[in-house]
Chain A
Amino acid sequence: MVFWLASCKETLEPQPVDLLVDELVLNEPNDVEPVRVGAYSAFRGMASPMMIAGDFMADYIRHNGTFSDYRELGTKQVTAANGAVGALWGSIYRTVYLSNFIHERLPNIAGIPEATRKQVLAEAKFLRGFAYFIGAYTYGDMPKVTTTEQGTNRSVPKSPKADILAFALEDLKTAEADLGQVEAGSGTTIANSTYANKTTARAALARFYLYGKNWAEAERYATLVIDSKLFSLEPNYADIVLKDFNRESILEVGYSLSDDPGTGNFALNNLLVGRREVIPSDQLVFSLLSAESGTRRATVEFSSANLKGDDNGWTVLKYGTASDDNNNIVIMRLAEMYLIRAEARAQLGKLAGANGAVADLNVLRSRAKAANVTAAAQADVLTAIERERVYELAFEGHRWYDLVRTGRAQAVMSAFTPNWNSRYERWPIPQSEIQRNPSLKGQQNPGY
């Protein structure tokens, strides 16, 4: 019995079998790969609410269902209690948590090849940088969380948007420096667009600088990505709509039959096809069907069977069911790089010629089997770019961010709905966060 009592401490700490406890995770080299996958899985959680923010906040959709979250988004009456607002916030900080976790644990584990350690740490930085970048442009000022320590995190105050962006930039820059270079022709299409590499970080930086109006850097990074030749344009736009892991996908989050979101609240296929909770707005359909749009009309499809009540019968096709080939969500793809470079060059006054904005636009036009851009004046080229982004990137989560950063939101959205108000250029801080985080008391974004 003496032995038995002495071993009490041990018997009272049995190890769970299917679950792992804190002290057992990420303490040996074999854990690195699954924890890395776990980080991407957390990042995947951001993808769908990011699309919802970028597209549903803008003039792309009409509410056609019964869920109040989507009624708010469709009629532009978003509240701080909106589920999507909370979901994006939550998944941003889940991603940040995983990244912080890797940064706290990984450096201390012995026996990991230095290259692996560097790569995984850089990937974690990339995911955190991207998360904060999206967060800052969605919510404005927000808490900067840099540790997994629960006590510290219980009450983190807002940091200014500029600080968050600076932090994100630092992460993305570090990622760019430390991530491995994948040469064109090496690696698989799937691996190259699933895990971050140096070019992925550069694509993110191109977008980062575009949003920050640093045209020169935006142009430089977009060019680096395009010239890397790691990704190439799909000749047929319908493949962008209907296929996962196509050749131009730079970063894509994956689902399979066994982990498809199904009928979850933020499952894009369920919202756009299954429930038809939202349908494409009439004006978007007109845009996509225009001659300029060309083959990009494949983004939407009409069926008279859907013509019930106010339904216009159109469906967005970019997100399939679990058994379709297009149930992934693309975060970045090569066409966006051409558009970023075009916009940066147009802003810099480089309009015509082989290195001009119009040439980049025409790359996409010709792929879409549409007529070339004829605009010549800077303002006209910029307008053409705005339209081109609609044709090319509809329902890939860009529109609202584009309208806000170009200062066009007020004009475009007021024309779309009388409910528009400039407060909708930012999302509110989720109501539950204001209630639970004492440092956010009274810190709701203006107007909400």
Chain B
Amino acid sequence: MRRRLLLSCLLVTLVWVSALAQDRRVTGKVTSSEDGSALPGVSIQLKGTSRGTQSDASGNYSINVPPGGGTLVFSFIGTTTQEVAIGNRSTIDMQLANDTRALSEVVVVGYGTQQRRDLTGSQLTVKGDEIAALPVQTFETALQGRTPGVQITQGSGKLGTALQIRVRGAASISAGNEPLYVLDGIPITSQDVNTTDTELFSPLADIDPNDIESIEILKDASASAIYGSRASNGVVLITTKRGKAGRTNVQLGYYTGITNPTRIREFLNGPEYLELFRESLTNAGIDPADPVDGFPGYGLDPNSTINSDWAGAAFRQGSVNQANFGINGGNEKTRFSLTGATNNQVGFIIGNKFNRNNIRLNLDHNISNKFSIGTSIAFSRVNNKKVPGDNAFSNPVQLNALPPIQAINNPNDPTGYNRGTLYYNNLVELNNAYNYARTFRTFGNLFGQYQIVPGLSFRSEYGFDILNLQEEIYQGRLTEDGAPTGYGYQSQTRVNNWTTNNTLSYLKNFGDVHSLDVLAGITYQEQNIQDVRAEARNFPNDKFQTLSSASQKRDASSNETGFSIVSYLARANYKFRDRYLLSLTGRLDGSSRFGTNNRYGFFPSASVGWILNEEPFIKNALPSLSLLKLRASYGLTGNSEIGNFASRGLYNAINYADQVGIRPTQVANSDLRWERSTQFDLGLEFGFLNNRVNGQIDVYNKVTDDLLLNVPQPAINGFTTIARNVGSLRNRGLEFSITSQNLVGAFRWSTNFNISFNRNRVTKLNVSPIRANSRFLSYVTEGQPLGVFYGKKYVGVDPQTGDALYEGSDGKPTSDYASAPERFVGNPNPDFTGGLTNNFSYKGFDLSVLFQFVYGNDIFNTAGLFQSVNGDYFDNQTRDQLRRWQKPGDVTDVPRAEFGAANGTGTSSRWVQDGSFLRLKTVTLGYNLPSRLVKKAFIQTARVYVSGLNLLTFTDYNGYDPEVSTQYVNSTNQQANIALGHDFYTPPQARTITFGVNLGF
């Protein structure tokens, strides 16, 4: 049977080859229209067929075409795509112009599309191609450095961790600060729902970056107000790749690589440790060999010759592997795109693993030339073997606290590890514990669009997003939390979202003078979250790990919550003489989250644009100007991430000595409503030399009022707080980006640079200043940015005594920690952020280099309280503690080592550092194999590449990694919003090097 199949394949091939023989040959040369230089590597395709070729190093090509001719399609990166009818010609030379897509490109906007040239709002586009091949778990990571006005921070290098995304600054203190994510028109679940820790993981990791056609980030009110009460933090529109009519393209991709921590902090080695702690004990009047108070009292050997690298034990060389395919094609009536991938990452943090399998089918069909339908279905499964939260003794990074004079391994212990260490040797967990988060995700939508009369069409969409998260923890009996008989935990969480959008749009040109584009619609969304969980102890042995095997089941619970939102929306775009633009949008949102007195909110915006280069007086004076557009917008948006039932009077079941009762837990506030942002934006877009150089500048002022805060009220009400809309804050800033095609022709070089400045300030609080956590410096108070560092100011060491000094209330140094007043000692918000990208290509080679920078933010290393305290306790110390004060006259910033004396150990600015950094974020070097070579293997295109992520980081921060934000205190939204720029045994970022290949058939 198999042989017969093979035979028939051969026959088909022979027939095909003989068919080719009857064709004729067309040749020609492809050059640049700018300077006439030859363009190598241009793809030349016979339209509607699988025939194609590439131009050679001199720009020459030849292709076989049928006798009847047809159409040739010339396409090349960075140029416009040209089609030309062959007719009877046998020689066709082609000049390709630089891509001026920024002018004519159609971009996705809320509930529709629009020509970029006609946009009056501020929005940012990132193409899927730019991010597809990067070895990241979630696409937001790949946006870093490319998004002016959008600050993207990855809190740690844990796999699948959620990123913090701030579109034009943080606009809320207590409510959500993350943007709304919309996938192919359907709002999706983007916030973690895990039940096991405060560390957030990204539900967006369920989306394969390869599937993304484009990402639009809506920044100003004009662009985002059509999303109403959920738009204050910006809106991210993700559009997936859809099928295109024409030949069927088959793409295969594979990459593999290694990953390592960007940096491991240096700690004392064995001899250094002994030296410091001998001195520390001696200074405290303790004999280091004292059996109770000295080393032996803590299980340490003062004569130990062991020298363990505990800090390094937390890490290993990890790996990344991904294989993906894409099949794309169809005809004028039906088009499809079928994609899939499997991604496997072994983290550089010990015990950390991530795996995703996904498939997606996007289908479009024209029932008639008036009626089209389509669907998208995507499934993904993500398995994340998580590492413990930063504040757990089981966090591998906390191994750095263990004395280097204690051994890591113990061959006589059943675990193979030394379990007699000062703190928990969590390496034990590698083989005795796990924490899995398994996500099963389904995205689906379908739409129908009907053209009622030319220009007027109705579109109806229905979409759902079902997230099913299963969490499984088992802690064996040899682990700290599992002792003595094992601990198990299971939970199931389901987030069910469904949405319907129904819009009517009308597009009409009146002569050449007026152009009108209006849209009106109704949408409805409902979300429901349910979870059930249980835990158990006492397992017969560690091989039994399901809860049914345990004898003590405890803490079983189930929960359910949800919201619904119904909205009416409208937009009108008007264009006069192709140069004066006006856009009005409005949305009326009714949300179950709002109080009955404020159930509906209206969110309007207005914007105007003026395309100056269309004005004759400018056109004539500056002919090289290809675009000059001035735009301004003003509008109102809301933030409804205030909790599902914050406005209602609530009662809880309570346990009174095992009897069940009901007690009120929250007092109703029927006036409660969304937080309200009004934003003004002024933008200028420009392009020269047919857009070879183009860019834009935006300034904005975003004022957020009605911030939701728990306002204290007299206890005589029965409740001490009530949720009310009282505070205000402001973000204002400037964004600038410029793109330049520096060199065109055979050697191409383009540069993109962007930079953004944002200033955040809490203008009205109406409640007492807020602190995230007593160990943290994070603070919220009027007149200061969110999360400003507030604490005692460390000013160094008294050269005479070696005592730590703080700034006293008289401004003079004092060694009395208690009396030192608190000061503003830092700001976790950067002065500016940005990126610089350079792309080069020559013949088949291409090179892309992206630098990312963040400047002016401070970091507080909370772990300094334990690891950089001049040997106050037996935690291993950072190497900088060796420069401690030793004798009168020593001038240093590290106080005298004195065991247990708390000399300089209180929370203070001692561990505040500048967190600015410049990072070589990505480098990709690729080579497109010559087509004549690959054609022999029936391959259309073949590309090999090496890529590096986070290769170099330049910073003064001496911790692990300057891009850091520990999440262990984030048990509420408010804490997550405030606790910025803190490091607490937080794993660093990944430095990844991959090698990959992409094949097109």
Contact = CB atoms under 8 A, between A and B. Distances in A.
Interface of A: 1, 4-5, 8, 11-14, 16-22, 24-26, 31, 34-42, 44, 86, 89-90, 93-94, 96-98, 101, 143, 145, 148, 150, 153-156, 194, 253-256, 258-259, 328, 430, 432-433, 435-437, 440
A17 B659 contact: no
Nearest to A86: B715
Given A153-B717, A436-B713, 10 more contacts: A14-B562, A17-B560, A18-B559, A20-B651, A22-B650, A35-B661, A150-B667, A150-B722, A255-B657, A433-B715
Nearest to A97: B718
A35 B660 CA distance: 9
B665 interface: yes
Contacts of B1: none
A437 B716 contact: yes
10 contacts: A16-B650, A18-B560, A21-B649, A21-B650, A21-B651, A44-B656, A96-B716, A143-B714, A150-B722, A155-B714
A112 to B, nearest CB: 16
Contact of B663 (A96, A98, A155, A254): A98
A17 B561 contact: yes
Interface of B, secondary structure class, is strand
B590 A150 contact: no
B524 A38 contact: no
Nearest to B656: A41
Interface of B: 502, 522, 524, 526, 559-566, 590-592, 596, 599, 644-645, 648-668, 712-720, 722
Task: Give the dominant DSSP class at A's interface.
Answer: helix
**Residue picked from A40, A258, A436, most chain B C-beta under 10 Å:** A436
Nearest to B529: A17
Contacts of B658: 256, 258-259
B522 A1 contact: yes
A340 to B, nearest CB: 27
Nearest to B502: A1
A89 B715 contact: yes
A20 B662 contact: yes
A402 to B, nearest CB: 27
Nearest to B596: A13
A357 to B, nearest CB: 36
Nearest to A44: B656
B716 A153 contact: yes
Interface centre among A14, A24, A433 (most CB of B within 10 A): A14
Nearest to B721: A436
A444 to B, nearest CB: 14
Contacts of B661: 34-41
A255 B659 CA distance: 10
Contact of A11 (B526, B656, B666): B526
A258 B557 CA distance: 14
Contacts, number: 164
A254 B564 CA distance: 41
A46 to B, nearest CB: 12
Contacts of A255: 657
A42 B564 contact: no
B648 A16 contact: yes
A1 to B, nearest CB: 7
B656 A37 contact: yes
- Sorted from nearest, which 4 A-B pairs have the closest CB atoms? A97-B718, A37-B661, A254-B657, A22-B649
A143 to B, nearest CB: 5
B590 to A, nearest CB: 5
A101 B644 contact: no
Contacts of B718: 93-94, 96-98, 148, 153
A328 B658 CA distance: 13
Contacts of B561: 16-18
B655 A34 contact: no
| Highest count of chain B CB atoms <10 Å: which of A4, A21, A35, A101 | A21
Contacts of B566: 5, 8, 11-12
Contact of B657 (A1, A22, A36, A256): A256
Given A11-B526, A12-B599, A18-B560, A154 B717 contact: yes
Q: Which residue, B502, B662, B712, has most C-beta atoms of chain A within 10 A?
A: B662
Interface centre among B653, B663, B715, B719 (most CB of A within 10 A): B715
Nearest to B648: A21
Contacts of A437: 714, 716
B662 A34 contact: yes
A438 to B, nearest CB: 9
Contacts of A253: 657
A24 B651 CA distance: 9
A259 B658 CA distance: 8
Contacts of B667: 150
Contact of A258 (B560, B655, B664): B655
A38 B526 contact: no
A155 B714 CA distance: 8
A109 B88 CA distance: 94
B662 A12 contact: no
A1 B565 CA distance: 15
Contacts of A94: 715, 718
Contacts of B502: 1
Given A21-B650, A22-B649, A436-B713, A11 B564 contact: yes
Contact of A17 (B559, B654, B663, B722): B559
Contacts of A16: 561, 644-645, 648, 650
B522 A34 contact: no
Residue of B524, B716, B718 with most partner-chain A CB within 10 A: B716
A435 to B, nearest CB: 8
A4 B664 CA distance: 33
Contact of B524 (A4, A42, A96, A150): A4
Given A16-B648, A17-B559, A153 B591 contact: no
Nearest to B555: A258
Given A1-B502, A19-B665, A21-B649, A8 B590 contact: yes
Contacts of B668: 21-22
Q: Which of B654, B714, B722 has the most chain A CB within a 10 Å cutoff?
A: B714
B565 to A, nearest CB: 8
A24 B562 CA distance: 18
A150 B672 CA distance: 15
Contacts of B716: 93, 96, 143, 145, 153, 156, 433, 437
A12 B559 contact: no
Contacts of B522: 1, 5
A35 B656 CA distance: 11
Contacts of A36: 661
B663 A41 contact: yes
A25 B662 contact: yes
A16 B657 CA distance: 25
Nearest to B592: A12
Contact of A433 (B651, B652, B664, B714): B714
A321 B642 CA distance: 38
A14 B644 CA distance: 10
A97 B720 CA distance: 12
Contacts of A35: 661-662
A362 to B, nearest CB: 35
A156 B715 CA distance: 11
Given A40-B661, A93-B715, A12 B720 contact: no
A37 B667 CA distance: 19
B43 to A, nearest CB: 47
A333 B292 CA distance: 48
Contacts of A150: 667, 713, 717, 722
Contacts of A4: 524
Contacts of B653: 18, 34
B176 to A, nearest CB: 19
A324 B596 CA distance: 48
B592 A13 contact: yes
A21 B669 CA distance: 12
A436 B657 CA distance: 33
B766 to A, nearest CB: 12
Between A34, A96, A154, the greatest number of chain B beta carbons within 10 A of the residue's beta carbon is seen for: A34
